[in-house]
């Protein structure tokens, strides 16, 4: 009997950049770290080609016809799951939604056995959401060569598709990265979104990245990531071209790290008055869902400088682009 | 930055008939109220064209290919959700099922933010089920111009697709509405189905609409809707051409409004003996799921005069027709 | 009004072999019992034709386009449901997932009314999983003529698609059934998989079927099924060509029928040492998910003689073959 293509040793040595194949093509999409400027630009240019598809009467293209995508969600997120589900369907892929919390606990199957089983079903792509940092990279390490893994958020580590849709939104409005001042406001310490954004902004070459928030929510040594730290909101957003507000998690509001949601809003909430301190044509972004009156005032969220809904729209195009790239790399590698 | 097409003021003035566009085409399907006879006939004629599709070897047509339909269910209903899911799939649409109870509470997102997010994902249609009367109309008021809303049942207010499949069933069997006596039996007071049926039957011109039930379950002033009230079952169905039995909700059986399920069956249950009081060729309808031995006897539900399963079959064709009409109106309006 | 095609008496007389139509074609797939050798071979040959589809870049074929398949799961099983969902999607069918536990209890609808409703929605196939033995056959008895039923596991009775993918795996590796010694190890008494496998192995003509396990887990009179009983593991697998390990259910581990999971592994766990007692080229199979260290050692499960992942891959091809056969029988019968 020939060995099953998915049967292999449990732990493999992680290659330096496990996201790229030997020809430098994107095979997995796990983190912004280590990706080159030209590759990020390639993702943005790809998304630019997919963006008009969402505005057509027929929003489907046959690029992933006959491919099987699995939404492998170990942590519930209707919003992110729906975005990937829509992107996959508009690419004409077949998609299976698996809520692993519910299913695996029923029979006590291990994560690796679940992965191998799905691989053996000849799936082509896993979109992974997990509460533990490093889960997506671990899975990418373990999966068979014919599978691509996309990180849809792992612990506090990374949320690279969110970062890329934010970059796409900035480029669409500002037409450039050079010279921009970008302020990221809120709970930097616990935010996978912030981590991925800082990496992307650095790679794409903005002028200045600011992180703004209370001391309890800013990690030490964040300056090493080429950021400037501000604990005062007014100073932090003064003159900024882009203001990215982070979502304040409910567990944080109830923790000892913060006094209360009301006091947080007093100190760091984005109001119309404060937004006037930023550049005149500054845009406001937020990964959603927003807490109105906690990190952002409704007048700003729904106001003329808000790009929040544009971000959602761009999220589909960016995910279509990334899904197509990783499957395209597989096809050119002679797999699947 | 151009404003996002879905960014707009929170509350708009509701137009007199928000279901129709300026050319009189069906844009949303929220209630039977205010719809003209000719429009209802158009729905029935459309369903007549879709009915044979369900009997073909290949049950799909490409009319909604590349469109995205969202089943937005704030109240669980596997039966109704499945019907819309099948209708959408047979029209070749992509469909996303969202159970909003489960998802929104997780992150505390507001209804309006959920709607705007889905709009920004460039969905084309929301099928809405909600426990509150008026929810579908509220959502139709709030959504972006490119979205159509179909009411799949809102509180005690309306269930217009159910009413239309009932009308389709009556027309298929009786070939007419003129001259018919229709009796609706049961909990009229709490029934969105009854409300929508009474409106449709009036608009389509039946001779007489009777509502039959105990005083506690018949709303006062129902005569204003051109109905005759009966508190005695035998008198209520005497000579009727169509007998529509309503489902008795379990919460009602346990409430002070009714003595017990057994006594209810004694007084208002449809038995073979009672059905003999109706016209000889009377048909029996029920929106399902039926409570055997509570509002209807099994011998009647499964008997030769029962149209209950026909109603289910017609439900697919009617929903395909309505979905096609609202998307067609959008296309002709130059949207989507 | 013509009678609805799905309206018919509640209980029908079960025909001798309700799985075949009058021309001997497979209409339902409920159990291996009573199926002829030539029909089983036909299933295996069909799966052989579908196996390469899973390795193609485009894994879809249009054979079931426009057909509606319902995954009717009364007992949760993500793994089995996913396998059928993938098989249906790769055949281009529309598939609806219904978790009946959740939905039916909400409104208290009876099983038969649920079935009739789904039939009236013009579905073509029910894939049924149920905790009660005989449920799939009962449903096949009750459904309308245009519906095919596939048993995805019913109580302790049968799991015929699992048995056929096991047979496919054996034939692919061993190229024959004649002359083979097959050992089935574990909880034979409660295993629908074992029952279906024993029937298939007998019909396909292996030399010897052994059942291996503690007395509490081997049914009396199992010898009547042409099996040899072993209570000692070493003797049971000595010289076997195929070793099928059954999953030990957690409820059994905690019951009085067994001392403990550790002692079970001591007595019946498949280790590398024990596997050496089997034929040199013996293969190891398991329906999954595996309990590592309970019924099987990881070194064996992941070792060179393990066919466990091959089974998963073959499961898709076998289910595609069976789904195509039952729908094909319908088409030739002039239905669908």
Q: How many CA atoms lie within 13 A of C296 on its CB side?
A: 27
Q: Are residues B234 and B126 located together in one domain of the fold?
A: no
**Inter-chain CB proximity A336 and C83 less than 8 Å:** no
**Inter-chain CB proximity C289 and A107 less than 8 Å:** yes
Task: Let me know if residue C282 belongs to a domain.
Answer: yes
> Distance between CA atoms of C244 and C159, rounded to whole angstroms?
15
Candidates B248, B289, B254; CA nearest to B77 is B289
- Residue B16: what pLDDT? 52
Residue A61 main-chain phi, psi, to 5 deg: -125, 150
Contacts of residue A302 in chain B, CB cutoff 8 Å?
7, 10
Q: Which of A82, A87, A175, A250 to mutate to test the interface with B (most CBs of B within 10 A)?
A: A82
* Nearest CB partner across the interface for C86, out of A68, A104, A110: A68
Give me the residues paired with residue B151 across strands.
B128
**Which range of residues forms the domain containing residue A247?**
160-305
Contacts of residue C292 in chain A, CB cutoff 8 Å?
110, 113
Identify the H or E element spanning A128.
Answer: strand A125-130
Which pLDDT tens digit goes with each residue over C86-124?
999 999 999 999 988 744 444 556 888 999 999 999 999
**Inter-chain CB proximity B86 and C121 less than 8 Å:** yes
Closest residue, chain C, to B307 (C-alpha):
C4
Output the six-digit token pair for C285. Answer: 């199979």
Contacts of residue B1 in chain A, CB cutoff 8 Å?
173, 283, 305, 307, 310
- Residues whose CB is less than 8 angstroms from the CB of residue A157 and which lie 6 or more positions away in sequence, other chains included: A31, A133, A134, A192, A195
Q: Are residues B119 and B171 located together in one domain of the fold?
A: no
Average pLDDT over residues C171-192: 97
Q: Which of A102, A117, A124 to mutate to test the interface with C (most CBs of C within 10 A)?
A: A117
**Inter-chain CB proximity A83 and B122 less than 8 Å:** no
Task: Let me know if residue B140 belongs to a domain.
Answer: yes
- Residue B105: what pLDDT? 45
Burial C155-177 (b: 16+ CB within 10 A, else e): bbbbbbbbbbbbbbbbbbbbeeb
Task: Let me know if residue C14 belongs to a domain.
Answer: no
Q: Are residues A296 and A165 located together in one domain of the fold?
A: yes
User: What stretches of chain B show up as alpha helix (H) in DSSP?
Assistant: 37-50, 78-90, 100-107, 111-120, 135-142, 160-174, 192-204, 233-237, 250-253, 261-268, 272-275, 298-301, 308-332
Tell me what percent of the residues of chain B surpass a pLDDT of 90: 81
* Nearest CB partner across the interface for A7, out of C54, C78, C309: C309
Q: Are residues A322 and A201 located together in one domain of the fold?
A: no
Task: Let me know if residue C24 belongs to a domain.
Answer: no
Confidence of residue B253 (pLDDT cuts 50, 70, 90): confident
Which pLDDT tens digit goes with each residue over A260-302?
888 999 999 999 999 999 999 999 999 999 999 999 999 999 9
pLDDT at C11 over 50: no
Q: What domain count does chain C have?
A: 2
List the single range of B93-102, B240-249, C146-155 with lowest mean pLDDT: B93-102
Candidates B334, B335, B327; CA nearest to B63 is B327
CA distance B188 to chain C (A): 19
* Average of per-residue pLDDT values in chain B: 91
**Inter-chain CB proximity C121 and B58 less than 8 Å:** no
Q: Are residues A232 and A327 located together in one domain of the fold?
A: no
A228 DSSP assignment: E
Query: What spatial distance separates the first Cα and last Cα of chain C, rounded to whole Å?
Result: 22
Which pLDDT tens digit goes with each residue over B181-190?
999 999 999 9
Task: Let me know if residue B24 belongs to a domain.
Answer: no
Q: Are residues B242 and B219 located together in one domain of the fold?
A: yes
Contacts of residue B113 in chain A, CB cutoff 8 Å?
288-290, 292
CA distance C112 to chain A (A): 28
Task: Let me know if residue B79 belongs to a domain.
Answer: yes
CA distance B308 to chain A (A): 34
Q: How many residues does chain C have?
A: 336
What CATH number does residue C143 fall under? 3.40.50.1370
CB C177 within 8 A of CB C201: yes
* Average of per-residue pLDDT values in chain C: 91
Closest residue, chain C, to A96 (C-alpha):
C82
**Inter-chain CB proximity B96 and A82 less than 8 Å:** yes
**Inter-chain CB proximity C312 and A66 less than 8 Å:** no
CB A336 within 8 A of CB A93: no
CB B211 within 8 A of CB B217: no
Burial C28-38 (b: 16+ CB within 10 A, else e): bbbbbeebeee
Give me the residues paired with residue B242 across strands.
B182, B283
Q: Are residues C270 and C323 located together in one domain of the fold?
A: no
- Residue C296: what pLDDT? 97
| CA max distance for chain A | 72
Chain centroid to CA B31: how far? 8
Task: Let me know if residue C276 belongs to a domain.
Answer: yes
User: 0.90 exceeded by the pTM?
Assistant: yes
Which pLDDT tens digit goes with each residue over A134-162?
999 999 999 999 999 999 999 999 999 99
Closest residue, chain A, to B124 (C-alpha):
A57
> What is the four-CA torsion angle of B271, B273, B278, B280, rounded to 10 degrees?
120
Q: How many CA atoms lie within 13 A of C109 on its CB side?
A: 23
Candidates C7, C142, C124; CA nearest to B309 is C7
**Inter-chain CB proximity C307 and A1 less than 8 Å:** yes
Q: Are residues C108 and C224 located together in one domain of the fold?
A: no
Identify the H or E element spanning A119.
Answer: helix A111-120
B222 DSSP assignment: G
Q: Are residues A210 and A139 located together in one domain of the fold?
A: no
Residue B313 main-chain phi, psi, to 5 deg: -60, -45
> Distance between CA atoms of B295 and B228, rounded to whole angstroms?
20
Q: Are residues B43 and B131 located together in one domain of the fold?
A: yes
Task: Let me know if residue C32 belongs to a domain.
Answer: no
Q: Are residues A172 and A145 located together in one domain of the fold?
A: no
**Inter-chain CB proximity B57 and C66 less than 8 Å:** yes
> Distance between CA atoms of C157 and C151, rounded to whole angstroms?
10
**Inter-chain CB proximity A113 and C288 less than 8 Å:** yes
pLDDT at A101 over 80: no
- DSSP notation for C85-139: HHHHHHTT-EEEEEEHHHHHHHHT--HHHHHHHHHHTT--EEEEEESSTTHHHHH
- Residue C334: what pLDDT? 60
Average pLDDT over residues B81-94: 97
Q: Are residues A207 and A70 located together in one domain of the fold?
A: no
Q: Pairing relation of β-strands C125-130 and C94-99?
A: unpaired
Higher pLDDT, C4 or A242: A242
Contacts of residue C309 in chain A, CB cutoff 8 Å?
4, 6-7, 116-117, 119-120
Contacts of residue B96 in chain A, CB cutoff 8 Å?
82, 85-86
- Residues whose CB is less than 8 angstroms from the CB of residue C15 and which lie 6 or more positions away in sequence, other chains included: none
> Distance between CA atoms of C297 and C303, rounded to whole angstroms?
10
CB A108 within 8 A of CB C250: yes
Contacts of residue B302 in chain C, CB cutoff 8 Å?
7, 10
């Amino acid at each position: 009997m020939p060995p099953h293509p998915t049967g292999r040793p449990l732990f493999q040595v992680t290659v330096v950049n496990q996201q790229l194949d030997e020809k430098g093509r994107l095979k997995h999409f796990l983190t912004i770290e280590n990706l080159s400027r030209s590759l990020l630009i390639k993702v943005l240019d790809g998304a630019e080609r997919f963006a008009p598809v969402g505005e057509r009467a027929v929003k489907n293209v046959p690029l992933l016809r006959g491919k099987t995508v699995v939404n492998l969600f170990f942590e519930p997120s209707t919003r992110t799951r729906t975005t990937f589900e829509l992107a996959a369907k508009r690419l004409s892929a077949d998609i299976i939604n698996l809520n692993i919390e519910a299913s695996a606990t029923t029979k006590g199957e291990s994560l690796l056995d679940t992965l191998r089983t799905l691989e053996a079903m000849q799936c082509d792509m896993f979109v992974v959401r997990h509460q533990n940092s490093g889960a997506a990279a671990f899975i990418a390490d373990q999966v068979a060569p014919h599978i691509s893994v996309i990180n849809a958020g792992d612990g506090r580590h990374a949320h690279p598709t969110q970062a890329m849709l934010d970059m796409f939104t900035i480029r669409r409005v500002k037409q450039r990265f050079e010279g921009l001042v970008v302020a990221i406001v809120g709970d930097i310490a616990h935010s996978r979104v912030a981590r991925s954004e800082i990496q992307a902004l650095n790679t794409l070459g903005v002028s200045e990245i600011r992180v703004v928030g209370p001391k309890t929510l800013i990690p030490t040594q964040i300056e090493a990531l080429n950021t400037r730290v501000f604990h005062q909101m007014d100073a932090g957003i003064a003159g900024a071209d882009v203001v990215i507000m982070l979502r304040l998690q409910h567990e944080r509001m109830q923790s000892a790290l913060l006094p209360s949601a009301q006091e947080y809003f007093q100190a760091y909430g984005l109001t119309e008055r404060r937004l006037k301190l930023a550049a005149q044509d500054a845009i406001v972004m937020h990964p959603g869902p927003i807490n109105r009156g906690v990190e952002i005032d409704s007048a700003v969220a729904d106001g003329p400088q808000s790009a929040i809904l544009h971000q959602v729209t761009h999220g589909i195009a960016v995910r279509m682009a990334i899904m197509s790239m990783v499957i395209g790399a597989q096809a050119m590698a002679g797999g699947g």
